[in-house]
Amino acid sequence: MVLTGQTATFEFADVAERPVISINRGFSAPIKLITDLNANDLAFLAAHDSDAFNRWQALQTISMRLLIDNVAAARAHQPLRSDDKLMQALAAILEDATLEPAFIALSLVPPGEGDIARELGHDIDPDAIFRTRAGLRAAIGEQLGPALTALYDRMGFSGGYSPDAKSAGRRALRNVAIDLLAATGKSAGIARASRQYEIADNMTDRMAALATLSLHDVPERQHALSDFYTRYASDALVVDKWFSLQATIPQPNTLENVRGLTAHPAFSLANPNRVRALVGTFAQGNPTQFNRADGLGYDFVAETVLALDPKNPQISARLATAFRTWRMLESGRRAKAEAALKRIRAAHGLSRDLADIVERALAAP
């Protein structure tokens, strides 16, 4: 069926049972689709649709509905709900031998924190979003643990590294599996990630294992971070990744660590790539810590913006764009973000670039 007009009606005769419609197959049109598909319909499509895009979209829709409900529950200090249909759909995908590993990897990843925030649209609490998404990832790792473990082992390589698409898909799936297993917080998952870090023969697998370890306050994390810098201290691009990874750790001591890293011998405000890697990533890639309820994340970025502006107005302006969505936050954070923006605006001698960004952010919507 091709939809070419504003309205259209299609009738089907002699259908033996109620069908579940699969629309916009192959993402044939760049549209936002509104349907009356219920939870059972979406679960059916997620588990059985022959169209890969719609199968993935059904999973994302189910997951998003669950996450949105649980964000509200988290803010009200109520228990988070689970969704057996979502777990069954994910299990069906894990068991489907016809699916490409790259597709399975994408299917196992819940909507991101930014996606959830955009779906909410207002009164956003980044901590509640993080907790609910982390809870879903942990639930997937717990309930599908045996299947994920078997999958991880099956996706291993007997030969060396290869950059071809098939191998890349296997690596992607293997790394998603290890991340979900570690999300449970169990020692076996942490040990598996640590082992992968040690024996990896390529940067993709080593970096993925390090990223997984970075989310857990365990001795293996600090060992891997120290080892990573020692291994690659002479490679500027890899050191940028090392700074960025530490800036995204969603834990309360990250701001203190990021401040400490600004005094690291490899960091300099005169190096735009380092500033983007550390401060830029903190501001734009760490929603919980940049948007700390105490406002200290905003203060740190504002300080850095003002220190940078006389030397590199383009970078200072780029950092300030992290404040663009401040009106979407809940009232406490919103007030602190606005205060930080006004502090920047009040500084003497702002560059034209920075002043423009700040004025746009503070302008009435």
Q: What phi and psi, each to the nearest 5 degrees, are found at residue 283?
A: -70, -35
* pLDDT at residue 7, rounded to an integer: 86
Q: Is the pLDDT assigned to residue 38 strictly greater than 80?
A: yes
DSSP letter assigned to residue 323: G
Q: What phi and psi, each to the nearest 5 degrees, are found at residue 124?
A: -85, 135
Q: What is the pLDDT of residues 211-254, one digit of tens each?
A: 999 999 999 999 999 999 999 999 999 999 999 999 999 999 99
Is residue 135 a contact partner of residue 292, using CB atoms and an 8 Å limit?
no
Alpha-carbon gap, residue 80 to 355, rounded angstroms = 43
Q: What is the pLDDT of residues 258-283, one digit of tens each?
A: 999 999 999 999 999 999 999 999 99
Is residue 340 a contact partner of residue 298, using CB atoms and an 8 Å limit?
yes
Is 1-143 a domain of CATH 1.25.50.10?
A: yes
Region 71-81 average pLDDT: 91
Q: What is the pLDDT of residues 137-164, one digit of tens each?
A: 999 999 999 999 999 999 887 677 888 8
* pLDDT at residue 8, rounded to an integer: 87
Region 122-138 average pLDDT: 96
* pLDDT at residue 259, rounded to an integer: 97
Region 68-74 average pLDDT: 94
Q: Is the pLDDT assigned to residue 308 strictly greater than 90?
A: yes
* pLDDT at residue 158, rounded to an integer: 66
**Does the predicted model carry a pTM greater than 0.85?**
yes
Residue with tokens 């016809």: 98
Alpha-carbon gap, residue 354 to 315, rounded angstroms = 9
How do the domains of the chain map onto residue ranges?
1-143, 145-232, 246-365
| pLDDT cut 70: percent of the chain above it | 99
Lowest mean pLDDT segment, chosen from 27-31, 169-173, 180-184, 353-357 = 27-31
Is residue 325 a contact partner of residue 338, using CB atoms and an 8 Å limit?
no
* pLDDT at residue 163, rounded to an integer: 86
Region 46-75 average pLDDT: 93
Domains 1-143 and 246-365 share a fold: yes
Say which residue, 7 or 300, is predicted with more confidence. Answer: 300
**Considering the chain, what is the average pLDDT of its residues?**
94
Q: How many CA atoms lie within 13 A of 341 on its CB side?
A: 23
Q: Is the pLDDT assigned to residue 4 strictly greater than 90?
A: no
Class of domain 246-365: mainly alpha
Is residue 197 a contact partner of residue 209, using CB atoms and an 8 Å limit?
yes
Lowest mean pLDDT segment, chosen from 63-67, 74-78, 124-128 = 74-78
Q: Is the pLDDT assigned to residue 206 strictly greater than 70?
A: yes
Amino acid at 365: P
Region 42-58 average pLDDT: 92
